[in-house]
Structure 1
Amino acid sequence: PSEVELESALRLKTIQYFVTQRPWLDLYGKHVRPVAPFGSASRRSYVDPALIHRSLPDELLFEVFVRMAPYDLGRASCVCRKWRYTIRNPVFWRTACLKAWQLSGLVENYKILQSKYEGSWRKMWLLRPRVRTDGLYVSRNTYIRAGVAEWKITNPVHIVCYFRYLRFFPSGRFLYKNSSQKIKDAAKFMNFRASKADCVFGGHYTLSDNKVEAAVLYPGMRPTVLRIRLRLRGTTAGANNRMDLLSLVTSGVDDNEASGPEEDILGVVEGWQDDETHNPDVPAVSHKRGLTPFVFVPFEEVETSDLNLPVEKMDYYVPG
């Protein structure tokens, strides 16, 4: 083709490009009015352009949100403006808060709500420290152990990796497991159906501000109580995804203390000193190793968590 024909074809192509309808260009310089949330007092009629909102009534959408977990609500609020404004309804967050801090009691929770969080349940959920119950807190610990020298030529060393697992429940109970199993394998046993052969032990905890006091009893010929002190924190507001291990103490208890109800073990050791023991055969030991902070892993991420990597690929883990 000649130069004139090429120039004409290029001009037509350029014109076709500008004529093509592009809806997003129409939004430049315009303010998009947010869609009114469910229960709004506004009487102004509007047409919701979203297909899901035209096919799903507001009442049914509200019922769906009521049955969602708080962290799923946070993800859903990022979908669109209507969902975000609807999810700000205090009904969702009041239910979540009363369940998370049920040990404090209804009256105490309402007092804290008014005195510290200006009556906002959502603000209380984001800012008040709480233990998470939708996953496991995991502490990954490593140490170096000298190997056996072969033929006096090499002096090998091994990196040994083990984990501490904590699973909390809103009722004040928790499960503890100390194992070399990766989290994807250990998560299967972190429930009350686990047997003693699974090395899962149950205990009780209390939460005061951001401090967690927990105790678990190891039964046997010489019963031993494990006392754990933790400090709760988060990498972002409302995350509560880290726990600093402040102290880890094992002490002996006498037969009368060990034979009492399981829920009383936390009250038995209340006020004990770190070097206190009630069984001379079991000395009190304040552990100074294996105090790596706990990292929270939701149940839906246990299979893909980096904590499943072997020491060959991750010799040290920085919890942050």
Structure 2
Amino acid sequence: MASSDISVDIRPDINSFDHFLSMRYIATDRPWLKLYGIRVQPVPPFSSLSYKPDPALIHHCLPDELMLEIFTRMSPYTLGRAACVCRKWKYTARNPTLWRAACLKTWQVSVFDFVIQFHVLMFSSIQFYVVKRSGMEANYMMVRSLYDSSWRRMWLQRPRIRIDGLYVSRNTYIHTGVTEWQFKKTVNVVCYYRYLRFFPSGKFLYKVPIHNSHISPDKVKDAVKCMHFRASKADCVFKGDYVLSEDGQIEMALLYPGHRYTLVRMHLRLRGTTVGANNRLDVLKILTTGVNATELQNWKGSILELVEGWEEDETHDPDVPAVSHSRGLSPFVFVPFEEADTSVLNLPVEKMDYYVPG
């Protein structure tokens, strides 16, 4: 009998336990594969011809008109979180009336240069005229010409300052103490905060650290309580004016009251970690300069209009020189009011010595 006529199974015996160990890495458990082939009926938009009542219990209790009324009373931050609940809420949150109200409330002080083109038949030439619009009219013209009449796209793509929370800057530095017995030198990690709260009217509140609280600085949850609509000298909260350009540049100015008036000018850049977040403020420049008291008494406009055209090293008080600060320029991080108590910026230096804004 030839050897080719005999078929021998030469596969080695595999232990059941070894086979189980190998299958752990070869065949990974993927539960979502069970969803393949199952048709999920999409929910049509509200007021559509193919719209049918939703069998969910909350949608039985609340009609669509009442649900839309609840959504109109939400803040944009809460509206975005509600859109992640279910598909029907996602379609409801995309109602243009919701985002139109949010845009008009945010950009109350808005200026738009509208270019009008005229064709002169007599001279066969084209002439351009620039018409300046402001306020609500500027927002309507801007959403038509730049954002395809989509208020939601305008909300996501246009630079805006968030008013539903605080911008917090956490600064730390190392301070060398007095040498003790010539054997060791004390080194302290000093932490202090800067807070900014903006309002849609072009005003902002600025809180600086108190001199005797550098060891135990104010936390975010404590700063929210004192940064209301009015400034308080006892809490070191001051009021100023700001203006936001369309490229995300912010010009700010505020006045320190005291024996000699000190004018603070800040140049910031607005950016976001994701599209439409606008949750970071990069500090480009901080300038302090002097101002004449007589000039302030006769001035009736805003502080920004007073310093318009000033040079960086210009001062109107010889006793207060112009200084460009190079320390304490950590970016501002946005913290919503809902997360003021749980933010990581409340951690002490013992648990977080340095914070990376990102």
TM surpasses 0.5? yes
1:257-302 residue CA offsets vs partner (Å, 9 max, x unmatched)? 3325675211111121111100001000000111011000011111
Select the residue among 30, 54, 65 that pairs with 1:59. Answer: 65
Give 3-state SS (helix, strand or coil) of 1:206's partner.
Answer: strand
What SS does the aligned partner of 2:81 have? helix
Higher strand fraction (1 or 2): 2
Corresponding residue for 1:72? Answer: 78
Alignment equivalent of 1:212, drawn from 236, 241, 250: 250
Residue number among 104, 108, 111 corresponding to 2:138 in the alignment: 108
Aligned match of 2:40: 32
Letter in 2 for 1:95: A
TM-score, length-scaled by structure 2: 0.79
Moved more, 44-53 or 136-145: 44-53
Is this contact kept in 2: 1:203–1:262, CA < 8 A?
A: no
Q: Does 1:248 find its partner at 2:286?
A: yes
Alignment size in residue pairs? 295
Report if aligned partners of 2:45, 2:51 keep a CA contact under 8 Å in 1.
no
C-alpha distance in 2, partners of 1:300/1:144? 32
Task: List aligned pairs for 1:29-178, cutoff 5 A.
Answer: 29-40=37-48, 42=49, 44=50, 46-104=52-110, 105-178=135-208
The change in CA–CA distance for 1:92 and 1:260 in structure 2 (over 3 A counts) is: farther
Q: CA deviation at 1:69?
A: 0.7
Q: Secondary structure at the match of 2:180?
A: coil
Higher helix share: 1
Query: Is 1:185 equivalent to 2:193 in the alignment?
Result: no
Structure 1 position 36, deviation (Å): 2.9
Of residues 240, 258, 263, the one that matches 2:296 is 258
Out of 313, 335, 342, which is 1:304 matched to?
Answer: 342
Aligned-partner Cα distance in 2 for 1:73–1:133: 15
In 1, Cα distance between equivalents of 2:34 and 2:179: 75
Deviations 1:83-104 (A, max 9, x none): 1112111000000001111101
Is 245-254 or 178-187 further displaced after alignment?
178-187
Partner residue, 2:123: none
- Greater relative CO (CA pairs within 8 A, separation 6+): 1
Give the number of the structure whose alpha-carbon radius of gyration is greater. 2
With the length of structure 1 as denominator, give the TM-score of the two structures.
0.88
Amino acid at match of 2:72: V
What residue in structure 2 maps to residue 195 of structure 1?
A: 232
Cα distance in structure 2, aligned partners of 1:63 and 1:289: 48
Q: Percent identity?
A: 65
Contact 2:264 2:286 in 1 (8 A): yes
**How do 1:275-294 and structure 2 match up within 5 A?**
275-294=313-332
| Equivalent in the alignment of 1:6 | none
Q: Which runs of 5+ in 2 are unaligned?
A: 1-31, 111-134, 210-216
Deviations 1:79-130 (CA, angstroms, capped at 9, x unpaired): 1111111211100000000111110111211222122211100000011110
User: What SS does the corresponding residue of 1:215 show, helix, strand or coil?
Assistant: strand
Task: Give the structure 2 partner of residue 316 of structure 1.
Answer: 354
Choose which of 271, 286, 300 in structure 1 pairs with 2:309.
271
Q: Secondary structure at the match of 2:89?
A: helix
Give the residue type in structure 1 aligned to 2:349: V
SS in 2 for 1:162: strand
2-structure distance, mates of 1:294, 1:262: 31
Q: Partner residue of 1:228?
A: 266
Measured in 2, the distance between the counterparts of 1:36 and 1:133 equals 33
Q: Measured at CA, do residues 63 and 47 of structure 1 come closer, stay the same or move farther in structure 2, by a change above 3 Å?
A: closer
Partner amino acid, structure 2, of 1:33: Q
Instruction: Verify the 8 A CA contact 1:203 1:215 in the aligned structure 2.
Output: yes
Q: Which amino acid aligns with 2:102?
A: A
CA distance in 2, matches of 1:170, 1:183: 21
SS at match of 1:149: strand
- Structure 1: distance between partners of 2:51 and 2:185: 80
For residues 302 and 94 of structure 2, what CA distance do their matches in structure 1 show? Answer: 40
